[in-house]
């Protein structure tokens, strides 16, 4: 049986025990070289799943867009817009104005004739034309302009 005295003696001896200096160096360097693999976000399992899902959705969307049977088109295939675009071309206004100028010139010539003329009555060109307009007759004054206008009207 071990007595108290013996236990005290053994403990006194054990107090002086030290590891081998080589083992001590190796172990220390191993411990210090260890890096934590813990990540801030994706370390958490549920975020890993969410991230994977998002990537998957992105891929699906990209593939769907790339191989979609009905691609997204511009407004160029809107017949109403196309018609309006043509009608709004300034050249159409230019042609209208050309016709107006021809008509105005005829009116001026007719008015000057009326001032000059003392013989002919009821034969004023401008008045007759205005009356003709009133009964929907063609007010053609310049065949060239009229031909141009006809070409732009279906």
Partner 1 sequence: MILAIALPTGAALAETKLESTLEGVKGQVENLVTAKDEKSVSELALRIETFKKIIEFSVSETKDLKIKLLGLEDLNEEESAWRKTMIEELNNALTYYESEKSTVEDAAEISLDEIKTLATDFKNWRDTTYLPVAEKVNELLLIRQEENAIEIAERRWQKIDEDIKKLEKAKIKGVGELRELLKNADGLIGEGRELNREAGNAFWKDYILVTATTTTSAPASTTITFLPERLNATTTTASSTESATSTDESASSTLSIQPPSIKGLVGDSLVRIKDAYQIFIEMSNLVRKLLN
Q: H-type helices in 21-118, by residue range?
A: 21-33, 45-66, 79-87, 90-116
Least distance from partner 1 to the Cβ atom of residue 57, Å: 22
121 to 150: interface string for partner 1, x by CB under 8 A: xx-x-xx--x-------------xx-xxx-
Least distance from partner 1 to the Cβ atom of residue 60, Å: 17
**From 14-22, 30-38, 50-58, 93-101, span contacting partner 1 (CB under 8 A):** 93-101
98 binds partner 1 per the rule CB under 8 A: yes
Q: Are the C-beta atoms of residues 145 and 102 closer than 8 Å to each other?
A: yes
Nearest to 146 by CA among 91, 83, 100, 87: 100
Q: Which residues contact 103 (CB under 8 A, 6 or more apart)?
A: 139, 141
Least distance from partner 1 to the Cβ atom of residue 151, Å: 5
Instruction: Rule CB under 8 A: choose which of 101, 132, 133, 137 binds partner 1.
Output: 101
Least distance from partner 1 to the Cβ atom of residue 125, Å: 9
Residues touching partner 1: how many (CB under 8 A)?
A: 59
105 binds partner 1 per the rule CB under 8 A: yes
Using the structure block, give the residue that is written with the tokens 């990537």. Answer: 55
Q: How far is CA 97 from CA 103, 108, 143, 145, 146, in A?
A: 10, 16, 15, 10, 12
- Using alpha carbons only, what angle is made at residue 145 by residues 140 and 147, rounded to the nearest 5 degrees? 85
Q: How far is CA 24 from CA 14, 18, 30, 34, 94, in A?
A: 18, 9, 10, 16, 100
**Smaller CB separation from partner 1, 76 or 136:** 76
| Contacts with partner 1, residue ranges (CB under 8 A) | 67-74, 76-80, 82-83, 85-98, 100-101, 104-105, 107-116, 118, 121-122, 124, 126-127, 130, 144-145, 147-149, 151-154
């Amino acid at each position: 049986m071990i007595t108290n005295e013996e236990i005290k003696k053994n403990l006194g001896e054990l107090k002086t025990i030290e590891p081998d200096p080589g083992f001590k160096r190796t172990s220390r360097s191993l411990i210090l070289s260890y890096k934590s693999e813990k990540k801030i976000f994706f370390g958490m399992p549920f975020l890993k799943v969410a991230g994977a899902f998002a990537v998957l959705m992105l891929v699906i969307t990209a593939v769907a867009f790339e191989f979609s049977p009905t691609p997204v088109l511009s407004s160029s295939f809107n017949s109403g817009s196309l018609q309006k675009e043509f009608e709004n071309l300034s050249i159409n206004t230019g042609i209208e104005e050309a016709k107006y100028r021809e008509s105005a010139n005829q009116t001026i010539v007719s008015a000057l004739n009326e001032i000059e003329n003392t013989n002919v009555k009821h034969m004023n060109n401008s008045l007759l034309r205005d009356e003709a307009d009133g009964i929907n007759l063609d007010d053609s004054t310049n065949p060239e302009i009229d031909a141009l206008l006809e070409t732009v009207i279906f």
